[in-house]
Structure 1
Amino acid sequence: MELNGRSLSPDILASVSEDGTALTFSPNGKTMLERSRAVIDKAVAERIPVYGVTTGLGSRATEALSAEELSGFSVETLNGRDHALAPALPRQVVRAAMAVRLNTFLTGAAGVSPAVADHLRLVFNAGLTPVVGGWGTIGAADLLLGATMGRAVMGLGGQLVDRDERTSAAADALAMADLTPPQLGPRDGLALANHACFSAGMAGLAVAEARRALESHISIAALSFQAFGGNVTPMDSAVLALKPHSHDARVAGRMRALLDGSDLLDPANARRLQDPISIRNAVQVLGAAERSLAEAAEVVTIEMNASSDNPAVLVDADRVVSTGNYHTPHLALTCDYAARGLAAAATLSVARIAKLCSERLTGLPQYLADPEVGTNGFAPLLKLAESLLGGLQHLAQPTALWPSINADGVEDGLTLAFQSARNFREAAKLGRRITALEALAAAQACDLRGRDLPHRLSELQAAIRAVSPRIRESRPLAEDIEKVVEVI
């Protein structure tokens, strides 16, 4: 997979961070590395004041570094900030951060030594992953997490995990992989540590997960609509044109396509004049969720292909300047927003499960119990649905903000973007499980109703039934639910 600093997407990131894909640098990316490093070398040679390169960091930004300090400042930068606290982040999350950092190096803004950038790439390709604690970033860059990653990659300390999940001291793991870290020069330590690539990487994985969750919500909502015997009037394109939200129209189009061939497309076959909101307004809620996710994808894609460096090299201007690009309010706010969208979709999903379980509303056996067997049917699963929804709703609460107390008043703002992104990703995972529960309820309701399904819903029903047979007698369903998550 070739990185170029411009075209990394959430779906590509999710793939390369998990499947062992080797990364390469584009020719233009290599050129940008060389050109940006030349600007840094010039600044050092001429002792031009550059934050974190020829001056100190944080509240010491006004202090010039001596010649003796310059030689070891990159190592000191990493050693003094390697404080990320356990529990360790999942391997895929750290590899996502590594991939994003490699990609953003190629913008030319970091000014990192080409040899250091290439060493990080070789460590990634060798399947080695730093052990990085999940606590320590406040969103004014991911400084402590980045330092822990950088220190391990350079063999200065910490641990690395290989493809077989064996953990070794970083220096030993690099030696076993026949990798020799290059010497760190000025700016290199800060380039490895001071960036927002953990937040961007986590958010990229969250967007990819949320896309799967939302597509499942849409397809299973259509199956529930068929099982319930819903009224299609709210999905009519003429009705939606009265309030022209484009994402509502797209969701409705997908649901109508899934229902193509259903007798319900003739409103005369509807069982009710007006269905419950969870059925009638599925399009509006899923459309709003899709809109929030589209905005998140746009923001996250920008972050994964942009510089979060401070200072940053302006290659064409031959200058190094201080920036605010390490700060991540766009990322934090859009992750909070998209998580709320998922919560809205999941809330209606749980409501639809309850409606499908109601004999009064569906005309089907109470709790979808098989009429030939005396069981409580889906009644116990309603508790599981609400348990999952409670967890998701908690994750979807906006992350708190306050004035930061860092750097003696110089660094007095934060975003907590990483926590917002982490919550967003976990919310998407719970959303997929809630949808799996709805899938089981809808499939059971379709079986009990005994009517022919339209072609695409018949395929969806078959996929569900391939991993979870029709529920007749009581049986544990936890494994079925996890299997359904993967097939819908």
Structure 2
Amino acid sequence: MAIQLDGSTLTFEEIKQVVYHAEPVELSEAAWKKVEESRTAVERLMAEGKIMYGVNTGFGKFSDTPISEENVENLQLNLIRSHACATGKPFSDTVARTMVLLRANALAKGYSGIRKETLQLLIDCLNHGIHPVVPSQGSLGASGDLAPLAHLALVLIGEGEVMYKGNTLPAEKALQRAGLHSVRLQAKEGLALINGTQAMTSVGVIAYMEAQELADLADGVAALTLEGLQGIVDAFKPESHLVRPYPEQQQVASRILSYMQGSQLTTTQGEIRVQDAYSLRCIPQVHGAIQQVLHYVKEKLLIEINSATDNPLIFADSGNVISGGNFHGQPIAFAMDFLGIAVAEIASISERRIERLVNPQLNDLPAFLSPDPGLQSGLMITQYVAASLVSENKTLAHPSSVDSIPSSANQEDHVSMGTTAARHAYDIVQNSRRVLGIEAICAAQAADIRGKERLSPFSKRLHANIRSVVPVITEDRVFSKDIENIAQAMKKEQWLKQVLESEKISKN
């Protein structure tokens, strides 16, 4: 059964089903009714000669320039062509597919004045696997994601490029192969397609979902590291966390304590040392704070994916046409900057645990976990790589939302840079996954040296998952491949399920 869009109730689970599993979508009957009422209102108001921004006026600084009735359709065509000037590497198919879905959902709210046939074509493209090729750079994140969304809109008029069945094709050719037909945009429709926050929000949704999986996985990898370093369990006992009552901190401490249950490698205070370094002892405080940020980001994204971010908005019931600013991406810009900062800390504390695993001055393991220290360097340089990625994250985590450059002759004089923030957050997630992958490799090797049979039941499962993609290190090899293999494995749904499913009891 197809997932129904109504503009108000789309969930992350439904996005996953559509984006990753090609679940078909359709508009609900109530949504179609609102779409048609909105379109009827546009046509009635045009017939009455009402001045409406972007319908019978120019755009931006040209908002006071009237457009004659015979040029209304050309206005929309010119808008799409002129605004399709984004540059840089294209967004991934995953992000592009999410953009189509989120734009369709926003239009389904029924405040944009789009025709039924135009919106239906957008949905048909999604259901047939036709994804626009959208360059990733060029949005200011206010007046909507104009440039990226213009590349999406090109597809509906048979222009631009798309990905279809694994090939890059001209849009018109892909539409024909799928049995679809391009449309000629009418009044308001071009603006309805490009005035919104769906580029930044789509990148943000994918970045958030990957970040949440990474943060959950980080608890398990940290537990394996604790066993490899004979970590002290006392810091994870509930007493100290109850007196600083952050729920997320308490949950992380509880999870990690449960992961180490049954281990023969962990220690207690004073058994080997009195207390561990911060990167081990403070995992609940740091990982818990990261979970707090993820909760905030999820809340903002859920609001945004079910919002009308068009301009002007058409209110069919009252007949009002309101030129406002729902296209302004400030809420998402802040959320994406916050997401990037939080995920950068996943990598930052992970890199410090990597150092404790490989540095012979900080543990009693073979230097750099080498099978033959001196002759073979072992995992020495993997820490360099982690340090490099963490350093890069610090640059990427510089907030984009505090920047603004005026545009359209100062008519649009404050912008969010939300799409840049989202792109940076996404890049930080990719870097951090590789850092966590390096920690997993080092922790698994330490466990092999200590005796993997002495691991807790949870850590044995995680260790086996790591070893399914990264063999035990018996001699030096090209570790670049191991890092990429573990990073890719961490993105796979089945691999994650094997690890994270065992976390559900302790997470609930």
Within 5 Å, give how 1:286-301 maps onto structure 2: 286-301=287-302
User: What displacement does 1:135 show?
Assistant: 1.9
In 2, distance between residues paired with 1:210 and 1:402?
A: 24
Contact residue 136 and residue 144 of structure 1 kept, 8 A? yes
User: What displacement does 1:6 show?
Assistant: 2.2
Alignment-derived partner of residue 469 in structure 1: 471
Distance of aligned partners of 1:268 and 1:60 in 2 relative to their CA distance in 1, 3 Å threshold: closer
Alignment-derived partner of residue 51 in structure 1: 53
Within 5 Å, give how 1:358-373 maps onto structure 2: 358-370=359-371
Alignment-derived partner of residue 428 in structure 1: 429
User: What displacement does 1:9 show?
Assistant: 3.3
**Comparing 474-483 and 304-313, the one that deviates more:** 474-483
User: What displacement does 1:246 show?
Assistant: 1.7
**Comparing 73-82 and 265-274, the one that deviates more:** 265-274
Does the alignment pair 1:154 with 2:161? no
User: What displacement does 1:372 show?
Assistant: 9.1
**Comparing 456-465 and 122-131, the one that deviates more:** 122-131
In 1, distance between residues paired with 2:224 and 2:317?
A: 56
Which of these residues, 118, 121, 127, is aligned with residue 120 of structure 2?
118
Contact residue 11 and residue 208 of structure 1 kept, 8 A? no
In 2, distance between residues paired with 1:372 and 1:410?
A: 65
Alignment-derived partner of residue 96 in structure 1: 98
Within 5 Å, give how 1:35-74 maps onto structure 2: 35-74=37-76
Deviations 1:66-115 (A, max 9, x none): 21222432212212222122332222221111110011111112221111
Within 5 Å, give how 1:298-447 maps onto structure 2: 298-370=299-371, 374-399=375-400, 401-447=402-448
Contact residue 336 and residue 424 of structure 1 kept, 8 A? yes
Which of these residues, 133, 136, 141, is aligned with residue 134 of structure 1?
136
Contact residue 366 and residue 373 of structure 2 kept, 8 A? no
Deviations 1:249-273 (A, max 9, x none): 1211221221122357773585321
Contact residue 128 and residue 162 of structure 1 kept, 8 A? yes
Alignment-derived partner of residue 195 in structure 2: 194
In 2, distance between residues paired with 1:361 and 1:136?
A: 47
Contact residue 2 and residue 24 of structure 1 kept, 8 A? yes
Contact residue 104 and residue 119 of structure 2 kept, 8 A? yes
In 2, distance between residues paired with 1:106 and 1:253?
A: 43
SS state of the match for residue 311, structure 2? coil
Distance of aligned partners of 1:258 and 1:305 in 2 relative to their CA distance in 1, 3 Å threshold: same
Contact residue 77 and residue 185 of structure 2 kept, 8 A? yes
Contact residue 131 and residue 149 of structure 1 kept, 8 A? yes
Alignment-derived partner of residue 485 in structure 2: 483
| Equivalent position amino acid for 1:191 in 2 | A
Deviations 1:187-215 (A, max 9, x none): 11111121111111111111011112111
In 2, distance between residues paired with 1:64 and 1:297?
A: 42
In 2, distance between residues paired with 1:470 and 1:444?
A: 7
Contact residue 220 and residue 439 of structure 1 kept, 8 A? yes
Contact residue 229 and residue 264 of structure 1 kept, 8 A? yes
Contact residue 118 and residue 156 of structure 2 kept, 8 A? no
User: What displacement does 1:329 show?
Assistant: 0.7
Gaps of 5+ in 1: none
In 1, distance between residues paired with 2:342 and 2:394?
A: 11
Does the alignment pair 1:144 with 2:147? yes
Gaps of 5+ in 2: 490-494, 497-508
Alignment-derived partner of residue 492 in structure 2: none
Distance of aligned partners of 1:40 and 1:5 in 2 relative to their CA distance in 1, 3 Å threshold: same
SS state of the match for residue 83, structure 2? coil
User: What displacement does 1:274 show?
Assistant: 1.2
With the length of structure 1 as denominator, give the TM-score of the two structures: 0.94
In 1, distance between residues paired with 2:371 and 2:88?
A: 48
| Equivalent position amino acid for 2:371 in 1 | D
> Percent same amino acid at aligned positions?
28
Cα RMSD for the two superposed structures: 2.0
In 2, distance between residues paired with 1:282 and 1:333?
A: 25
In 2, distance between residues paired with 1:144 and 1:373?
A: 55
Contact residue 227 and residue 449 of structure 1 kept, 8 A? yes
SS state of the match for residue 407, structure 1? coil
Contact residue 10 and residue 297 of structure 1 kept, 8 A? no
User: What displacement does 1:231 show?
Assistant: 1.6
Distance of aligned partners of 1:315 and 1:220 in 2 relative to their CA distance in 1, 3 Å threshold: farther
Contact residue 110 and residue 309 of structure 1 kept, 8 A? yes
Distance of aligned partners of 1:270 and 1:62 in 2 relative to their CA distance in 1, 3 Å threshold: farther
With the length of structure 2 as denominator, give the TM-score of the two structures: 0.91
Deviations 1:318-353 (A, max 9, x none): 322112110011101111111111111211101101
SS state of the match for residue 480, structure 1? helix
In 1, distance between residues paired with 2:183 and 2:361?
A: 71
